[in-house]
Structure 1
Protein backbone atom coordinates (compact mmCIF):
# COMPACT_ATOMS: atom_id res chain seq x y z
CA UNK A 1 0.00 0.00 0.00
CA UNK A 2 2.77 2.43 0.91
CA UNK A 3 4.62 1.88 -2.36
CA UNK A 4 1.38 2.23 -4.34
CA UNK A 5 0.47 5.52 -2.65
CA UNK A 6 3.95 6.90 -3.30
CA UNK A 7 3.74 6.06 -6.99
CA UNK A 8 0.28 7.63 -7.26
CA UNK A 9 1.49 10.83 -5.57
CA UNK A 10 4.48 10.97 -7.88
CA UNK A 11 2.29 10.56 -10.98
CA UNK A 12 -0.03 13.31 -9.81
CA UNK A 13 2.73 15.93 -9.65
CA UNK A 14 1.68 19.00 -11.57
CA UNK A 15 3.88 20.42 -14.34
CA UNK A 16 4.79 23.30 -12.02
CA UNK A 17 5.92 20.88 -9.29
CA UNK A 18 7.96 18.89 -11.79
CA UNK A 19 9.59 22.08 -12.99
CA UNK A 20 10.41 23.10 -9.41
CA UNK A 21 11.88 19.65 -8.75
CA UNK A 22 14.10 19.88 -11.83
CA UNK A 23 15.28 23.34 -10.81
CA UNK A 24 15.99 22.06 -7.29
CA UNK A 25 18.19 19.27 -8.65
CA UNK A 26 19.85 21.76 -10.97
CA UNK A 27 20.81 24.02 -8.08
CA UNK A 28 21.93 21.12 -5.87
CA UNK A 29 23.97 19.41 -8.60
CA UNK A 30 27.05 21.72 -8.52
CA UNK A 31 27.41 21.25 -4.76
CA UNK A 32 26.97 17.49 -5.00
CA UNK A 33 29.46 17.25 -7.86
CA UNK A 34 31.92 19.37 -5.89
CA UNK A 35 31.56 17.14 -2.81
CA UNK A 36 32.10 13.99 -4.85
CA UNK A 37 35.03 15.30 -6.89
CA UNK A 38 36.80 17.33 -4.19
CA UNK A 39 36.02 15.31 -1.04
CA UNK A 40 34.70 11.79 -1.46
CA UNK A 41 36.86 10.73 -4.41
CA UNK A 42 40.16 11.91 -2.83
CA UNK A 43 39.30 10.05 0.39
CA UNK A 44 38.81 6.73 -1.38
CA UNK A 45 41.83 7.39 -3.58
CA UNK A 46 43.98 8.04 -0.50
CA UNK A 47 42.79 4.84 1.17
CA UNK A 48 43.59 2.87 -1.99
CA UNK A 49 46.99 4.56 -2.27
CA UNK A 50 47.84 3.51 1.29
CA UNK A 51 47.89 -0.14 0.16
CA UNK A 52 50.35 0.59 -2.64
CA UNK A 53 53.84 1.85 -3.26
CA UNK A 54 54.93 4.05 -6.10
CA UNK A 55 56.67 2.20 -8.92
CA UNK A 56 60.13 2.94 -10.26
CA UNK A 57 60.68 6.47 -11.55
CA UNK A 58 57.36 7.49 -10.00
CA UNK A 59 55.26 5.46 -12.43
CA UNK A 60 52.28 3.32 -11.45
CA UNK A 61 51.19 1.81 -8.15
CA UNK A 62 52.31 -1.57 -6.85
CA UNK A 63 49.95 -3.27 -4.40
CA UNK A 64 51.79 -4.22 -1.19
CA UNK A 65 48.91 -4.88 1.20
CA UNK A 66 49.42 -3.76 4.79
CA UNK A 67 53.17 -3.16 4.48
CA UNK A 68 52.77 0.62 4.67
CA UNK A 69 50.60 0.33 7.77
CA UNK A 70 53.19 -1.86 9.47
CA UNK A 71 55.98 0.58 8.62
CA UNK A 72 54.02 3.62 9.78
CA UNK A 73 52.90 1.95 13.02
CA UNK A 74 56.46 1.15 14.14
CA UNK A 75 58.13 4.37 12.96
CA UNK A 76 59.15 6.67 15.81
CA UNK A 77 58.66 9.79 13.68
CA UNK A 78 55.00 8.86 13.15
CA UNK A 79 54.19 9.02 16.85
CA UNK A 80 56.44 12.04 17.30
CA UNK A 81 54.48 13.88 14.60
CA UNK A 82 51.20 12.86 16.25
CA UNK A 83 52.47 14.16 19.59
CA UNK A 84 53.62 17.39 17.94
CA UNK A 85 50.18 17.83 16.40
CA UNK A 86 48.43 17.22 19.71
CA UNK A 87 50.72 19.71 21.48
CA UNK A 88 49.93 22.32 18.86
CA UNK A 89 46.19 21.67 19.28
CA UNK A 90 46.50 21.98 23.07
CA UNK A 91 47.83 25.50 22.59
CA UNK A 92 45.75 26.74 19.68
CA UNK A 93 42.31 25.40 20.58
CA UNK A 94 41.84 26.42 24.25
CA UNK A 95 43.73 29.71 24.13
CA UNK A 96 42.22 30.67 20.78
CA UNK A 97 38.73 30.06 22.16
CA UNK A 98 39.16 31.65 25.60
CA UNK A 99 40.76 34.85 24.29
CA UNK A 100 38.20 35.10 21.49
CA UNK A 101 35.32 34.66 23.96
CA UNK A 102 36.65 37.44 26.20
CA UNK A 103 37.04 39.77 23.23
CA UNK A 104 33.58 38.88 21.93
CA UNK A 105 31.94 39.66 25.27
CA UNK A 106 33.75 43.00 25.50
CA UNK A 107 33.11 44.00 21.87
CA UNK A 108 29.47 42.94 22.02
CA UNK A 109 28.84 45.85 24.38
CA UNK A 110 28.23 49.37 23.13
CA UNK A 111 31.51 51.27 23.14
CA UNK A 112 33.31 53.88 21.06
CA UNK A 113 35.13 52.38 18.08
CA UNK A 114 33.57 48.94 18.47
CA UNK A 115 33.52 48.27 14.72
CA UNK A 116 37.13 49.38 14.39
CA UNK A 117 38.28 47.01 17.13
CA UNK A 118 36.34 44.13 15.59
CA UNK A 119 37.99 44.80 12.24
CA UNK A 120 41.46 44.97 13.77
CA UNK A 121 41.09 41.65 15.56
CA UNK A 122 39.67 39.99 12.44
CA UNK A 123 42.48 41.21 10.16
CA UNK A 124 44.78 38.19 10.76
CA UNK A 125 42.13 35.96 9.17
CA UNK A 126 42.24 37.85 5.86
CA UNK A 127 46.04 38.20 5.74
CA UNK A 128 47.93 35.89 3.40
CA UNK A 129 49.47 32.98 5.36
CA UNK A 130 52.81 33.57 3.65
CA UNK A 131 52.85 37.20 4.81
CA UNK A 132 51.88 36.20 8.35
CA UNK A 133 54.66 33.60 8.47
CA UNK A 134 57.24 36.06 7.14
CA UNK A 135 56.32 38.73 9.72
CA UNK A 136 56.44 36.28 12.63
CA UNK A 137 59.75 34.81 11.46
CA UNK A 138 61.24 38.31 11.56
CA UNK A 139 59.76 38.89 15.01
CA UNK A 140 61.20 35.57 16.20
CA UNK A 141 64.64 36.20 14.68
CA UNK A 142 67.33 35.41 17.24
CA UNK A 143 69.70 38.29 16.44
CA UNK A 144 67.53 41.23 15.40
CA UNK A 145 63.96 40.11 16.04
CA UNK A 146 61.45 42.39 17.74
CA UNK A 147 60.80 40.06 20.67
CA UNK A 148 64.45 39.64 21.58
CA UNK A 149 64.98 43.39 21.31
CA UNK A 150 62.08 43.97 23.69
CA UNK A 151 63.25 41.38 26.22
CA UNK A 152 66.95 42.07 25.69
CA UNK A 153 67.64 38.38 25.12
CA UNK A 154 68.91 35.96 22.48
CA UNK A 155 66.16 33.35 22.63
CA UNK A 156 65.98 30.96 19.65
CA UNK A 157 62.20 31.10 19.39
CA UNK A 158 61.78 28.76 16.41
CA UNK A 159 65.07 26.85 16.40
CA UNK A 160 65.14 25.66 20.01
CA UNK A 161 63.43 22.22 20.11
CA UNK A 162 62.16 22.92 23.64
CA UNK A 163 60.15 26.05 22.81
CA UNK A 164 59.71 26.04 19.02
CA UNK A 165 56.37 24.22 19.23
CA UNK A 166 55.10 26.86 21.67
CA UNK A 167 56.21 29.66 19.34
CA UNK A 168 54.36 28.09 16.42
CA UNK A 169 51.30 27.59 18.62
CA UNK A 170 51.29 31.29 19.52
CA UNK A 171 51.11 32.15 15.82
CA UNK A 172 48.19 29.76 15.44
CA UNK A 173 46.34 31.39 18.33
CA UNK A 174 46.97 34.88 16.97
CA UNK A 175 45.74 33.85 13.52
CA UNK A 176 42.46 32.27 14.63
CA UNK A 177 41.28 34.62 17.40
CA UNK A 178 39.44 36.93 14.99
CA UNK A 179 37.48 34.11 13.35
CA UNK A 180 36.43 32.63 16.69
CA UNK A 181 35.52 36.09 17.97
CA UNK A 182 33.14 36.75 15.06
CA UNK A 183 31.36 33.43 15.66
CA UNK A 184 31.03 34.18 19.37
CA UNK A 185 29.63 37.65 18.66
CA UNK A 186 27.02 36.07 16.40
CA UNK A 187 26.08 33.66 19.18
CA UNK A 188 25.92 36.44 21.78
CA UNK A 189 23.57 38.49 19.64
CA UNK A 190 21.15 35.56 19.51
CA UNK A 191 20.78 35.54 23.30
CA UNK A 192 17.62 37.49 24.29
CA UNK A 193 18.38 40.62 26.30
CA UNK A 194 15.43 39.89 28.59
CA UNK A 195 17.48 37.25 30.38
CA UNK A 196 20.17 39.75 31.34
CA UNK A 197 17.59 42.35 32.34
CA UNK A 198 15.84 39.89 34.64
CA UNK A 199 19.19 38.86 36.14
CA UNK A 200 20.13 42.49 36.82
CA UNK A 201 16.79 43.06 38.54
CA UNK A 202 17.54 40.05 40.76
CA UNK A 203 20.88 41.62 41.66
CA UNK A 204 23.16 39.27 39.71
CA UNK A 205 26.64 40.60 38.98
CA UNK A 206 28.03 40.69 35.44
CA UNK A 207 30.29 37.74 36.20
CA UNK A 208 27.32 35.77 37.54
CA UNK A 209 25.32 36.65 34.42
CA UNK A 210 28.21 35.42 32.29
CA UNK A 211 28.34 32.06 34.08
CA UNK A 212 24.58 31.51 34.39
CA UNK A 213 23.32 32.98 31.10
CA UNK A 214 26.09 33.55 28.57
CA UNK A 215 28.01 30.30 28.96
CA UNK A 216 24.98 27.93 28.81
CA UNK A 217 23.18 29.74 25.98
CA UNK A 218 26.43 30.12 24.04
CA UNK A 219 27.30 26.43 24.37
CA UNK A 220 26.08 25.44 20.84
CA UNK A 221 28.37 28.06 19.31
CA UNK A 222 31.21 27.10 21.64
CA UNK A 223 30.87 23.43 20.78
CA UNK A 224 30.87 24.20 17.05
CA UNK A 225 34.05 26.25 17.43
CA UNK A 226 35.71 23.58 19.59
CA UNK A 227 34.93 20.82 17.12
CA UNK A 228 36.00 22.72 14.01
CA UNK A 229 39.15 24.11 15.63
CA UNK A 230 40.24 20.69 16.88
CA UNK A 231 39.95 19.33 13.36
CA UNK A 232 41.69 22.41 11.98
CA UNK A 233 44.54 22.14 14.50
CA UNK A 234 45.03 18.42 13.87
CA UNK A 235 45.34 19.06 10.12
CA UNK A 236 47.65 22.09 10.39
CA UNK A 237 50.24 22.32 7.62
CA UNK A 238 50.70 25.70 5.94
CA UNK A 239 51.75 27.52 9.10
CA UNK A 240 54.46 25.01 9.97
CA UNK A 241 55.57 24.67 6.37
CA UNK A 242 56.20 28.40 6.02
CA UNK A 243 57.63 29.08 9.48
CA UNK A 244 59.88 26.03 9.91
CA UNK A 245 62.69 25.67 7.35
CA UNK A 246 63.69 22.17 6.25
CA UNK A 247 67.13 22.70 7.80
CA UNK A 248 65.71 23.84 11.15
CA UNK A 249 67.07 21.66 13.96
CA UNK A 250 63.73 21.88 15.77
CA UNK A 251 61.69 20.62 12.81
CA UNK A 252 61.30 17.08 14.14
CA UNK A 253 59.89 18.47 17.39
CA UNK A 254 57.37 20.66 15.57
CA UNK A 255 56.30 18.99 12.31
CA UNK A 256 52.69 17.85 12.23
CA UNK A 257 51.29 14.66 10.72
CA UNK A 258 50.23 16.51 7.58
CA UNK A 259 53.69 18.07 7.30
CA UNK A 260 55.24 14.58 7.52
CA UNK A 261 52.76 13.39 4.89
CA UNK A 262 53.90 16.19 2.59
CA UNK A 263 57.53 15.22 3.02
CA UNK A 264 56.95 11.57 2.17
CA UNK A 265 54.36 12.03 -0.57
CA UNK A 266 55.80 15.01 -2.45
CA UNK A 267 59.42 15.46 -1.36
CA UNK A 268 60.43 11.79 -1.14
CA UNK A 269 57.95 10.55 -3.74
CA UNK A 270 56.58 7.81 -1.45
CA UNK A 271 52.87 8.52 -1.90
CA UNK A 272 51.74 5.21 -0.43
CA UNK A 273 53.53 5.83 2.87
CA UNK A 274 52.26 9.40 2.96
CA UNK A 275 48.70 8.26 2.27
CA UNK A 276 48.95 5.80 5.16
CA UNK A 277 49.85 8.63 7.52
CA UNK A 278 46.74 10.49 6.39
CA UNK A 279 44.57 7.40 6.94
CA UNK A 280 45.93 7.10 10.50
CA UNK A 281 45.08 10.76 11.07
CA UNK A 282 41.62 10.30 9.53
CA UNK A 283 40.85 7.41 11.88
CA UNK A 284 42.04 9.45 14.86
CA UNK A 285 39.85 12.41 13.88
CA UNK A 286 36.83 10.15 13.31
CA UNK A 287 37.20 8.59 16.78
CA UNK A 288 37.61 12.03 18.34
CA UNK A 289 34.55 13.31 16.46
CA UNK A 290 32.41 10.46 17.78
CA UNK A 291 33.56 11.26 21.33
CA UNK A 292 32.75 14.94 20.83
CA UNK A 293 29.30 14.13 19.46
CA UNK A 294 28.56 12.06 22.55
CA UNK A 295 29.84 14.83 24.79
CA UNK A 296 27.56 17.31 23.02
CA UNK A 297 24.49 15.58 24.41
CA UNK A 298 25.62 16.31 27.98
CA UNK A 299 27.46 19.60 27.62
CA UNK A 300 25.46 21.60 25.08
CA UNK A 301 22.36 23.52 26.13
CA UNK A 302 19.89 23.49 23.22
CA UNK A 303 16.85 25.16 24.81
Structure 2
Protein backbone atom coordinates (compact mmCIF):
# COMPACT_ATOMS: atom_id res chain seq x y z
CA UNK A 1 0.00 0.00 0.00
CA UNK A 2 2.82 2.38 0.88
CA UNK A 3 4.51 1.70 -2.45
CA UNK A 4 1.27 2.35 -4.29
CA UNK A 5 0.76 5.64 -2.46
CA UNK A 6 4.31 6.71 -3.22
CA UNK A 7 3.83 5.77 -6.88
CA UNK A 8 0.56 7.70 -7.07
CA UNK A 9 2.20 10.75 -5.47
CA UNK A 10 5.11 10.54 -7.93
CA UNK A 11 2.84 10.57 -10.99
CA UNK A 12 0.58 13.19 -9.46
CA UNK A 13 3.52 15.59 -9.31
CA UNK A 14 4.17 15.10 -13.03
CA UNK A 15 0.49 15.67 -13.77
CA UNK A 16 0.73 19.09 -12.13
CA UNK A 17 3.80 19.83 -14.28
CA UNK A 18 2.15 18.58 -17.47
CA UNK A 19 0.60 21.94 -18.62
CA UNK A 20 3.97 23.68 -18.26
CA UNK A 21 5.78 20.82 -20.01
CA UNK A 22 3.33 21.01 -22.93
CA UNK A 23 3.85 24.77 -23.30
CA UNK A 24 7.64 24.40 -23.13
CA UNK A 25 7.49 21.50 -25.58
CA UNK A 26 5.43 23.39 -28.16
CA UNK A 27 7.11 26.78 -27.92
CA UNK A 28 10.67 25.93 -26.86
CA UNK A 29 11.80 22.32 -27.27
CA UNK A 30 10.12 21.61 -30.61
CA UNK A 31 11.46 24.81 -32.32
CA UNK A 32 14.93 24.06 -30.92
CA UNK A 33 14.96 20.50 -32.27
CA UNK A 34 13.44 21.68 -35.57
CA UNK A 35 16.17 24.32 -35.96
CA UNK A 36 18.92 21.70 -35.48
CA UNK A 37 17.13 19.45 -37.98
CA UNK A 38 16.83 22.19 -40.63
CA UNK A 39 20.49 23.16 -40.18
CA UNK A 40 21.40 19.79 -41.73
CA UNK A 41 19.36 20.34 -44.91
CA UNK A 42 18.99 22.57 -47.92
CA UNK A 43 15.40 23.84 -47.97
CA UNK A 44 12.90 25.20 -50.47
CA UNK A 45 11.32 28.65 -50.25
CA UNK A 46 8.68 27.33 -47.86
CA UNK A 47 11.35 26.24 -45.38
CA UNK A 48 10.79 22.53 -46.00
CA UNK A 49 13.82 20.26 -45.80
CA UNK A 50 14.65 18.88 -49.27
CA UNK A 51 18.30 17.86 -49.53
CA UNK A 52 20.33 16.42 -46.67
CA UNK A 53 23.78 18.06 -46.58
CA UNK A 54 24.93 17.08 -43.09
CA UNK A 55 27.31 19.74 -41.80
CA UNK A 56 27.46 21.41 -45.21
CA UNK A 57 25.66 24.53 -43.98
CA UNK A 58 28.13 24.86 -41.11
CA UNK A 59 31.10 24.37 -43.47
CA UNK A 60 29.67 27.10 -45.70
CA UNK A 61 29.46 29.45 -42.73
CA UNK A 62 33.11 28.83 -41.85
CA UNK A 63 34.15 30.03 -45.32
CA UNK A 64 31.77 33.02 -45.42
CA UNK A 65 33.30 36.47 -44.95
CA UNK A 66 29.83 37.86 -44.28
CA UNK A 67 29.33 35.44 -41.37
CA UNK A 68 32.69 36.31 -39.81
CA UNK A 69 31.87 40.00 -40.22
CA UNK A 70 28.52 39.52 -38.48
CA UNK A 71 30.27 37.72 -35.60
CA UNK A 72 32.83 40.53 -35.22
CA UNK A 73 30.14 43.22 -35.42
CA UNK A 74 28.00 41.35 -32.89
CA UNK A 75 30.86 41.01 -30.38
CA UNK A 76 31.64 44.73 -30.71
CA UNK A 77 27.96 45.59 -30.32
CA UNK A 78 27.55 43.34 -27.25
CA UNK A 79 30.60 44.87 -25.56
CA UNK A 80 29.28 48.43 -26.02
CA UNK A 81 25.74 47.52 -24.94
CA UNK A 82 26.69 45.52 -21.84
CA UNK A 83 29.18 48.08 -20.53
CA UNK A 84 26.98 51.06 -21.40
CA UNK A 85 23.72 49.66 -20.00
CA UNK A 86 25.34 48.50 -16.77
CA UNK A 87 27.07 51.83 -16.20
CA UNK A 88 23.82 53.72 -16.85
CA UNK A 89 21.85 51.41 -14.55
CA UNK A 90 24.45 51.59 -11.78
CA UNK A 91 24.75 55.37 -12.04
CA UNK A 92 20.98 55.78 -11.82
CA UNK A 93 20.76 53.40 -8.85
CA UNK A 94 23.55 55.24 -7.02
CA UNK A 95 21.87 58.61 -7.60
CA UNK A 96 18.51 57.33 -6.34
CA UNK A 97 19.94 55.42 -3.39
CA UNK A 98 19.56 58.40 -1.07
CA UNK A 99 16.21 59.80 0.04
CA UNK A 100 15.46 63.33 -1.16
CA UNK A 101 12.36 65.24 -2.40
CA UNK A 102 11.21 63.99 -5.80
CA UNK A 103 13.08 60.67 -5.56
CA UNK A 104 10.11 58.73 -6.95
CA UNK A 105 9.99 60.89 -10.06
CA UNK A 106 13.68 60.26 -10.74
CA UNK A 107 13.35 56.53 -10.02
CA UNK A 108 10.46 56.27 -12.46
CA UNK A 109 12.43 58.17 -15.12
CA UNK A 110 15.47 55.88 -14.76
CA UNK A 111 13.31 52.74 -14.91
CA UNK A 112 11.21 54.03 -17.83
CA UNK A 113 13.29 52.48 -20.69
CA UNK A 114 12.20 48.96 -19.68
CA UNK A 115 8.57 49.94 -20.40
CA UNK A 116 9.28 51.25 -23.91
CA UNK A 117 9.08 48.92 -26.91
CA UNK A 118 12.35 48.73 -28.83
CA UNK A 119 10.56 49.45 -32.11
CA UNK A 120 8.96 52.64 -30.76
CA UNK A 121 12.25 53.83 -29.27
CA UNK A 122 14.03 53.09 -32.57
CA UNK A 123 11.51 55.18 -34.53
CA UNK A 124 11.99 58.14 -32.18
CA UNK A 125 15.76 57.68 -32.23
CA UNK A 126 15.71 57.62 -36.04
CA UNK A 127 14.00 61.01 -36.14
CA UNK A 128 16.42 62.44 -33.56
CA UNK A 129 19.39 61.32 -35.68
CA UNK A 130 17.98 62.52 -38.98
CA UNK A 131 20.66 64.58 -40.78
CA UNK A 132 18.27 67.43 -41.68
CA UNK A 133 15.56 67.65 -39.01
CA UNK A 134 17.19 65.67 -36.19
CA UNK A 135 17.71 67.37 -32.84
CA UNK A 136 21.13 65.75 -32.31
CA UNK A 137 22.77 67.54 -35.24
CA UNK A 138 21.07 70.81 -34.32
CA UNK A 139 22.28 70.68 -30.71
CA UNK A 140 25.83 69.66 -31.65
CA UNK A 141 25.87 71.95 -34.72
CA UNK A 142 27.02 69.08 -36.91
CA UNK A 143 25.98 67.71 -40.27
CA UNK A 144 26.44 63.95 -39.86
CA UNK A 145 24.22 61.27 -41.32
CA UNK A 146 24.57 59.13 -38.21
CA UNK A 147 22.65 56.06 -39.34
CA UNK A 148 24.03 55.92 -42.87
CA UNK A 149 27.67 56.44 -41.93
CA UNK A 150 29.52 53.12 -41.30
CA UNK A 151 31.65 54.82 -38.63
CA UNK A 152 28.68 55.78 -36.47
CA UNK A 153 25.82 53.40 -37.37
CA UNK A 154 26.82 50.56 -35.02
CA UNK A 155 27.50 52.97 -32.17
CA UNK A 156 24.08 54.60 -32.63
CA UNK A 157 22.28 51.24 -32.49
CA UNK A 158 24.38 50.14 -29.50
CA UNK A 159 23.70 53.38 -27.58
CA UNK A 160 19.95 53.00 -28.11
CA UNK A 161 20.07 49.36 -26.97
CA UNK A 162 22.18 50.24 -23.93
CA UNK A 163 19.64 52.88 -22.92
CA UNK A 164 16.75 50.44 -23.40
CA UNK A 165 18.48 47.82 -21.22
CA UNK A 166 19.50 50.33 -18.54
CA UNK A 167 15.99 50.45 -17.03
CA UNK A 168 15.98 46.84 -15.82
CA UNK A 169 19.61 47.19 -14.72
CA UNK A 170 18.58 50.18 -12.63
CA UNK A 171 16.03 48.00 -10.82
CA UNK A 172 18.56 45.21 -10.26
CA UNK A 173 21.19 47.56 -8.82
CA UNK A 174 18.64 49.47 -6.74
CA UNK A 175 17.59 46.19 -5.13
CA UNK A 176 21.23 45.27 -4.53
CA UNK A 177 22.08 48.63 -2.97
CA UNK A 178 19.09 48.43 -0.63
CA UNK A 179 20.52 45.18 0.80
CA UNK A 180 23.86 46.75 1.75
CA UNK A 181 24.05 47.73 5.42
CA UNK A 182 24.44 51.52 5.69
CA UNK A 183 26.43 51.16 8.91
CA UNK A 184 29.49 49.89 7.04
CA UNK A 185 29.70 53.22 5.20
CA UNK A 186 29.52 55.09 8.49
CA UNK A 187 32.34 52.99 9.94
CA UNK A 188 34.40 53.47 6.78
CA UNK A 189 33.88 57.25 6.93
CA UNK A 190 35.05 57.29 10.55
CA UNK A 191 38.17 55.38 9.45
CA UNK A 192 38.89 58.06 6.87
CA UNK A 193 37.78 56.32 3.67
CA UNK A 194 36.85 58.62 0.78
CA UNK A 195 33.96 58.13 -1.68
CA UNK A 196 36.04 56.29 -4.27
CA UNK A 197 37.42 53.85 -1.70
CA UNK A 198 33.93 53.17 -0.30
CA UNK A 199 32.59 52.56 -3.82
CA UNK A 200 35.30 50.11 -4.91
CA UNK A 201 35.82 48.36 -1.56
CA UNK A 202 32.28 48.33 -0.15
CA UNK A 203 29.65 49.00 -2.80
CA UNK A 204 30.98 46.85 -5.65
CA UNK A 205 31.74 43.81 -3.43
CA UNK A 206 28.27 44.20 -1.89
CA UNK A 207 26.76 44.17 -5.39
CA UNK A 208 28.80 41.11 -6.41
CA UNK A 209 25.94 38.60 -6.86
CA UNK A 210 23.75 41.19 -8.61
CA UNK A 211 26.65 42.21 -10.86
CA UNK A 212 27.24 38.63 -11.93
CA UNK A 213 23.57 38.00 -12.68
CA UNK A 214 23.23 41.32 -14.53
CA UNK A 215 26.28 40.66 -16.72
CA UNK A 216 24.94 37.25 -17.77
CA UNK A 217 21.44 38.57 -18.52
CA UNK A 218 22.76 41.60 -20.41
CA UNK A 219 25.07 39.51 -22.58
CA UNK A 220 22.21 37.21 -23.56
CA UNK A 221 19.87 40.14 -24.26
CA UNK A 222 22.49 41.99 -26.32
CA UNK A 223 23.17 38.94 -28.50
CA UNK A 224 19.44 38.69 -29.24
CA UNK A 225 18.89 42.35 -30.21
CA UNK A 226 16.91 42.66 -33.42
CA UNK A 227 14.16 45.31 -33.52
CA UNK A 228 16.51 48.28 -33.26
CA UNK A 229 18.66 47.05 -36.16
CA UNK A 230 15.62 46.25 -38.30
CA UNK A 231 14.14 49.73 -37.94
CA UNK A 232 17.27 51.90 -37.79
CA UNK A 233 19.72 50.39 -40.27
CA UNK A 234 18.48 47.05 -41.65
CA UNK A 235 22.01 45.72 -41.28
CA UNK A 236 23.61 48.58 -43.20
CA UNK A 237 25.27 50.66 -44.36
CA UNK A 238 27.12 47.84 -46.07
CA UNK A 239 27.26 45.23 -43.32
CA UNK A 240 28.40 47.53 -40.54
CA UNK A 241 25.39 46.68 -38.34
CA UNK A 242 24.67 43.19 -39.67
CA UNK A 243 24.36 41.51 -36.27
CA UNK A 244 24.13 37.72 -36.31
CA UNK A 245 20.42 37.80 -35.37
CA UNK A 246 19.67 40.12 -38.27
CA UNK A 247 21.82 37.94 -40.54
CA UNK A 248 19.66 34.96 -39.54
CA UNK A 249 16.50 36.93 -40.32
CA UNK A 250 17.83 38.12 -43.68
CA UNK A 251 19.01 34.66 -44.74
CA UNK A 252 15.69 33.06 -43.82
CA UNK A 253 13.10 35.61 -44.97
CA UNK A 254 14.89 37.45 -47.77
CA UNK A 255 17.23 34.85 -49.28
CA UNK A 256 15.01 31.87 -48.34
CA UNK A 257 18.08 29.95 -47.13
CA UNK A 258 16.43 28.45 -44.08
CA UNK A 259 19.11 25.80 -43.66
CA UNK A 260 21.89 28.40 -43.45
CA UNK A 261 19.77 30.54 -41.10
CA UNK A 262 19.15 27.52 -38.86
CA UNK A 263 22.88 26.76 -38.80
CA UNK A 264 23.61 30.34 -37.73
CA UNK A 265 20.97 30.02 -35.01
CA UNK A 266 22.67 26.90 -33.67
CA UNK A 267 26.06 28.66 -33.72
CA UNK A 268 24.56 31.63 -31.85
CA UNK A 269 23.08 29.27 -29.25
CA UNK A 270 26.47 27.58 -28.78
CA UNK A 271 28.25 30.95 -28.39
CA UNK A 272 25.77 32.16 -25.76
CA UNK A 273 25.89 28.81 -23.94
CA UNK A 274 29.71 28.81 -23.85
CA UNK A 275 29.85 32.40 -22.60
CA UNK A 276 27.27 31.63 -19.91
CA UNK A 277 29.15 28.50 -18.79
CA UNK A 278 32.41 30.48 -18.65
CA UNK A 279 30.75 33.14 -16.53
CA UNK A 280 29.39 30.53 -14.10
CA UNK A 281 32.77 28.80 -14.01
CA UNK A 282 34.51 32.07 -13.13
CA UNK A 283 31.89 32.78 -10.46
CA UNK A 284 32.28 29.28 -9.02
CA UNK A 285 36.03 29.42 -8.97
CA UNK A 286 36.28 31.81 -6.28
CA UNK A 287 34.87 35.24 -6.87
CA UNK A 288 34.35 36.45 -3.32
CA UNK A 289 31.53 38.83 -2.56
CA UNK A 290 32.51 39.56 0.97
**Shared topology, TM-score over 0.5?**
yes
Report the CA distance shift for 1:61/1:153 in structure 2 as closer, same or farther (over 3 A): same
Kept after mapping to 1: 8 A contact 2:88/2:163: no
Residue 115 and residue 72 in structure 1: after superposition, are their counterparts in 2 closer, same or farther (change >3 A)? same
The alignment's C-alpha RMSD in Å is: 2.4
Correspondence for 1:296: 283
Q: How does 1:89-238 map to 2 (within 5 A)?
A: 89-238=78-227
Change (3 A) 1:46 1:9: same
Contact 1:54 1:61 survives alignment (8 Å): yes
Task: Write the deviation string for residues 215-262 of structure 1: whole angstroms up to 9, x where unpaired.
Answer: 11211100111011111111211111111147x5x1511111010100
SS in 1 for 2:100: coil
Residue in structure 2 matching 1:257, options 244, 248, 252: 244
**Do 1:217 and 1:301's aligned partners in 2 also have CA atoms closer than 8 Å?**
no
The equivalent residue for 1:267 is 254
Deviation at 1:272, TM superposition (A): 0.4
Q: Indicate conservation of the 8 Å contact 2:41/2:49, yes or no.
A: no
Report the CA distance shift for 1:32/1:57 in structure 2 as closer, same or farther (over 3 A).
Answer: closer
Give the equivalent residue in structure 2 for 1:281. Answer: 268
Provide Cα deviations, 1:28-87, integer angstroms capped at 9, x if missing partner. 333333323222222211111100011366544321112111111101100011111111
Note if contact 2:45-2:257 (Cα within 8 Å) is conserved in structure 1.
Answer: no
> Is the Cα–Cα contact under 8 Å of residues 220 and 301 in structure 1 kept in the other structure?
no
Decide whether the 8 Å contact of 1:223 with 1:300 is kept in 2: no
Q: 1:57 to 1:177 in 2, by over 3 A?
A: closer
Q: How does 1:3-152 map to 2 (within 5 A)?
A: 10-11=3-4, 18=9, 22=12, 24-55=13-44, 59-152=48-141
How far apart, in 1, do the equivalents of 2:7 and 2:220 lie?
A: 46
Q: Which protein is bigger by CA-based radius of gyration?
A: 1
Structure 2 residue runs without a partner (length 5+): none
Q: Tell me by how many angstroms 1:178 deviates.
A: 1.1
Task: State the Cα deviation string for residues 11-35 of structure 1 (Å, max 9, x = none).
Answer: 56599xx4x983x545433333332
2 CA distance for matches of 1:189 and 1:245?
41
**Cα distance in 1 for residues equivalent to 2:276 and 2:7:** 44
C-alpha separation between the residues in 1 aligned to 2:230 and 2:113? Answer: 18
Indicate conservation of the 8 Å contact 1:187/1:218, yes or no. Answer: yes
The count of corresponding residues between Structure 1 and Structure 2 is 290
SS of structure 2 residue aligned to 1:253: coil
For 2:147 and 2:83, the matched residues in 1 are separated by 22
| Rounded Cα–Cα distance in structure 2 between residues aligned with 1:81 and 1:236 | 13
Structure-2-length-normalised TM-score: 0.91
